[in-house]
Amino acid sequence: MITDDTLREGMQTPGFSFSTSEKIELARLISESGIKRALVSYPPAHRSEFDVTCSIVDKGYFSETFALGRTLKQDIDLIYETGANISLHLPFKIDNMESILENIKYACSKGRLIEIGFVDIDMFNVSEIVKFCKKMGNAGVDVVQLPDTRGKLDPGKIWSIIKSVKIETEIKIEAHCHNDHGMAVANTVSAIMAGCDYTDTTIFGTGERNGIADSITVSDYLARNGIEKGINFDRLKVAYNYMYSLILKKIGSKFFTDNMPLFGNNSEIQTAGTHVAYGSVFEEKNYSVNVYTGKKMIMEILNKNGINCDDRNLDRIVSLVKDESASRGEVLTVNDIIKIAGEIE
């Protein structure tokens, strides 16, 4: 039932970024633990994400390898080129569902497994979620991911949503539970009890803000209850040790206090450019900048530091920021961004 999301969601951990070689090595270690399904990248963000997806697919580490993008034809085509299965997230504000549905049907015509994320499920009632899942099933979608994107739900609500969808539809459901209020593992277990087909987890529960459900904790629950018997915990611990070394090198041990829900600083930090673009949904204004950054994030950082630039220069700055982060396998500081902007000017 595990879908490992460390290589994609983990890239959104505040203060953290992977190099290409680190991603490939971690993919190998995770696959050796017996986890067979993984979401490994966001190819529309940067060429390095495209290349690493191709490499992981070519090496055959996972039975089902997914890459994530928007419900846009250019993203669908890009993911298809990598050889990965196609995972798409809806916009946080849906303005034209007809166009989105047309693009989803286009993705379904590609002959790959198709997964659609219905983001921010706390903003919808159960009947709306069920209706959406039925629509996705009719369109040919294989899996609907139901993310508690801001970690606002509780186990009872998650159970009610998943149970209703499983009763009223035949589509497969994936749970994706964020940990802003410390409920990620509890909500994930509740989703499993309600009948979800897949659960997203990451090593050390890494990810955007306070991350999502922890892999080894959920794997242990599945093993003890006879739901998943294929996880090799000794090998999974090797992957944990590798990730631990990367965290210490790139962030330091303070990560483990910063990532504590409600207590630590990570709850107030955004990494994903798609989140920053929807400021009415995600209000945090502290940013961690890597290849997942976006124009609005960089523009706000520059404006805050008294730097104004036109759209053409902003595009160039964003591109150079992503190139630098990918090359170093690190997040960039405000001073790094100011320096790049100064060289453009």
State pLDDT tens for residues 232-256. 999 999 999 999 999 999 999 999 9
Residues 124 and 17 in one domain: yes
Q: How high is the pLDDT of residue 196?
A: 97
The domain that holds 143 is classified in CATH as: 3.20.20.70
**Beta-bridge mates of residue 37:** 64
Q: Is residue 73 part of a domain?
A: yes
Q: Which of 250, 284, 312 is the last residue of a domain?
A: 250
Asked whether the predicted pLDDT for residue 280 surpasses 50, the reply is no
Give the H/E segment covering residue 336: helix 334-344
pLDDT in tens, 182-196: 999 999 999 999 999
Spatial separation of the C-alpha atoms in residues 16 and 330, rounded to whole Å? 6
Number of structural domains found in the chain = 2
Determine the Cα–Cα distance for residues 31 and 47; give it in Å rounded to an integer.
Answer: 24
Q: Does a structural domain hold residue 262?
A: no
Answer yes or no: is 39 within a domain.
Answer: yes
The sign of the dihedral angle between the CA atoms of 227, 230, 233, 238 is: negative
Is residue 135 domain-shared with residue 98, that is, in the same domain? Answer: yes
Residues of the domain holding 229: 2-250
- pLDDT, tens digit (0-9, with 9 covering 90-100), for 21-67: 999 999 999 999 999 999 999 999 999 999 999 999 999 999 999 99
pLDDT of residue 95 exceeding 60: yes
Residues 6+ positions from 328 with CB-CB distance below 8 Å: 17, 19
| Same-domain check for residues 246 and 286 | no
Given a cut of 90, whether residue 308 has pLDDT beyond it is no
272 pLDDT above the threshold of 80: no
For residues 246 and 272, state if they share a domain: no
Q: Could you give the CA distance from residue 235 to residue 91 in angstroms, rounded to a whole number? A: 37
**Are 210 and 80 members of one domain?**
yes
The model carries a pTM of 0.92
pLDDT tens digits, one per residue of 1-27: 899 999 999 999 999 999 999 999 999
Same domain as 242, residue 104: yes
Q: With cut-offs at 50, 70 and 90, classify the pLDDT of residue 275.
A: very low
**Are 316 and 276 found together in one domain?**
yes
Residue 145 lies in a domain: yes
Residues 185 and 312 grouped into a single domain: no
Assess whether pLDDT exceeds 80 at residue 318. yes
Tokens 């500081």 correspond to what residue?
A: 333
Q: How many residues does the chain have?
A: 345
What band does 97 get if pLDDT is binned at 50, 70 and 90? confident
Residue 260 lies inside a defined structural domain of this protein: no
Does one domain contain both 243 and 301?
no
Residue 231 has pLDDT above 90, yes or no: yes
* CA pair distance 79, 54, nearest whole angstrom: 9
Residue 66: how many other CB atoms lie within 10 Å: 26
In-domain check, residue 25: yes
Statement: residue 216 has pLDDT above 60: yes
Residue 278 has pLDDT above 50, yes or no: no
Both 190 and 163 in one domain: the answer is yes
**Cα distance between residue 79 and residue 4, in whole Å:** 18
Query: Residues 6 or more apart from 108 whose CB is under 8 A from it?
Result: 114, 139, 140, 141
- Alpha helices by DSSP H, listed for 172-212, are 184-194
From 20-29, 107-116, 138-147, 325-334, the region with the lowest mean pLDDT: 325-334
Quick check: is 277 in a domain? yes
Q: Is residue 216 located within the same domain as residue 304?
A: no
Mean pLDDT, all residues of the chain: 92
Same domain (yes/no): 275, 212 = no
Q: Is the pLDDT of residue 283 over 60?
A: no
Which of the four pLDDT bands, split at 50, 70 and 90, describes residue 120? Answer: confident
pLDDT level of residue 345 (50, 70, 90 thresholds): low
Within a domain: 173: yes
Phi-psi region of 211 (alpha: psi -120 to 50; beta: other; left: phi over 0): left
User: The tokens of 239 are what?
Assistant: 């992957």
pLDDT of 281 > 80? The answer is no
**333-344 confidence digits (pLDDT tens):** 889 999 999 888
State yes or no: pLDDT of 273 exceeds 70. Answer: no
Q: What is the pLDDT of residues 168-178, one digit of tens each?
A: 999 999 999 99
Residue 276 has pLDDT above 80, yes or no: no
